[in-house]
Amino acid sequence: MVKAGSRKSNNNGPRFEDIGGMDDVLDHLEMEVIVPLLHPDLYPSLGLRATAGVLLHGPPGCGKTLLARAIANESGASFYKISAPELVSGVSGESEENIRELFSKANRTAPSIVFIDEIDAIASKRENLQREMEKRIVTQLMTCMDESHRTSKPDDALETTEMPNGKPGYVLVIGATNRPDALDPALRRPGRFDLEISLGAPNEDTRLKILSVLTRDKKLEGDFDLIKIARSTPGFVGADLDRLVNTAGGLAIRRVFYKRKLELPIESIQNKNWLKKAWTHEEH
Ligand code: ATP
């Protein structure tokens, strides 16, 4: 089996190695989704059904989109992203058509991933949905998920969706939400979003791992104290830590420019251990 992280991606998008503090999640995903994406015929050949959908939930900025993109890059799958609120904003009938088109494209280019951001915007519990249109969108989404994936025949023999090249396809749907409880329970049953991953706000240890990844390619002095930063950033999610690192870098560049009155060639700034200097400066 090919280990995730060891394959070359055909673009420069994020890989598993770019995600900090999620080792257990990544190990789990390796077996549950990377293997079926890489070997779409494996599960059907054993009479098994691979994961149809993954529901990622957690606060904004905790890495849901990053994770979805990394799964695509690790597996080489085609990646289609839609933002659910945009879908509902269309005129009646348009949204269902968009969903059908999207899944049809995903089926044609399988193995593929359909990533639906803010899925609660279209897939809220149906009894809460006021508008007829929204109910139809949820139904359409479920139909597409059922059709584009291996489905159970009444006699429980497994059927595989066949792709134009005659090989079994695999379309993985990944939904992201900050409000998992608002989702229609029909979407959370096996065969639809049958794998749920909760990405909470990171604790100190996880923040340290995220910071290590985010500063991996930065020029830091050997004794740079990431532990201290991890300790002093409670409540920060990955997106906040990313912004912190970039802000620190920007400050370091600014300090060098202002203090040296723009005398320095750009190379000497690039060679500075800039993040450490910026952080130290902020503290005093
Ligand atoms: P939203 O709910 O607002 O869409 P999200 O959960 O999808 O947010 P992302 O967009 O994936 O969050 O994360 C934003 C950025 O934060 C990422 O591009 C990355 O730079 C950084 N980030 C988040 N989590 C991690 C992590 N675990 N490791 C490394 N970087 C991270």
Q: What average pLDDT does this structure show over 125-147?
A: 74
User: CA–CA separation, 25 vs 23, rounded Å?
Assistant: 5
- Taken as a whole, the chain contains a residue count of 284
Question: What is the per-residue pLDDT for 160?
Answer: 44
pLDDT score of 155 more than 50: no
Helix (H) or strand (E) holding 29: helix 23-29
Of 2-6, 52-56, 113-117, 249-253, which gets the smallest average pLDDT?
2-6
Rounded Cα gap, residues 54 and 115, in angstroms: 9
What pLDDT sits at residue 131? 63
- Residues lining ligand 1, judged by CB closer than 6 Å? 19-22, 60-66, 117, 176, 178, 210, 213-214, 238-239, 242
Which secondary structure element, helix H or strand E, spans residue 112, and what is its range?
strand 112-117
Helix (H, G, I), strand (E, B) or coil at 82: strand
Mean pLDDT score, 191-212: 94
Q: How many CB atoms lie within 10 A of CB 120?
A: 21
How far does residue 61's CA lie from ligand 1's centre (Å)?
4
Q: What is the pTM of this model?
A: 0.82
Q: Which two tokens stand for residue 209?
A: 């791992």
Residue 118, phi-psi category: left (phi > 0), alpha (psi -120 to 50), beta (remainder): left
Reported as a single tens digit per residue, the pLDDT across 7-65 is 334 457 999 999 999 999 999 999 999 999 999 888 888 888 899 999 999 999 999 99
Of 206, 242, 243, the one to substitute when testing ligand 1's pocket (max ligand atoms within 8 A of C-beta) is 242
Kindly state the helix (H) or strand (E) to which residue 114 belongs, with its residue range.
strand 112-117
Q: For ligand 1, pick from 19, 66, 203, 226 the residue to mutate: most ligand atoms within 8 Å of CB.
A: 66
Indicate which atom in ligand 1 lies nearest the CA of residue 239: 16
Sign of the four-CA dihedral 20, 22, 26, 27:
positive
- What's the whole-number average pLDDT of the chain? 80
Mean pLDDT of 119-143: 73
Q: Is the dihedral of CA 50, 63, 106, 135 positive or negative?
A: positive
Q: Whose CA is nearest to atom 9 of ligand 1?
A: 63
C-beta of residue 99 within 8 angstroms of C-beta of residue 144: yes
Instruction: Say which residue, 150 or 234, is predicted with more confidence.
Output: 234
Give 139's contacts (C-beta < 8 A, 6+ positions apart): none
Q: Please tell me the distance from the alpha carbon of residue 186 to that of residue 193, in angstroms, as a whole number.
A: 9
- Is 37 in contact with 111 (CB distance < 8 Å)? yes
Note whether 74 and 86 are within 8 A (CB): no
Residue 6 scores a pLDDT above 60: no
SS3 124: strand
DSSP line for 140-207: HHHHHHHHHS-EE-TTS-EE-PBPTTSSBP-EEEEEEES-GGGB-GGGGSTTSS-EEEE-----HHHH
CB 31, CB 4: distance < 8 Å = no
71-115 pLDDT, tens digit per residue, is 999 999 999 998 888 777 666 678 888 888 899 999 889 899 999
pLDDT digits (tens, 9 = 90+) for 216-236: 988 776 677 899 999 999 999
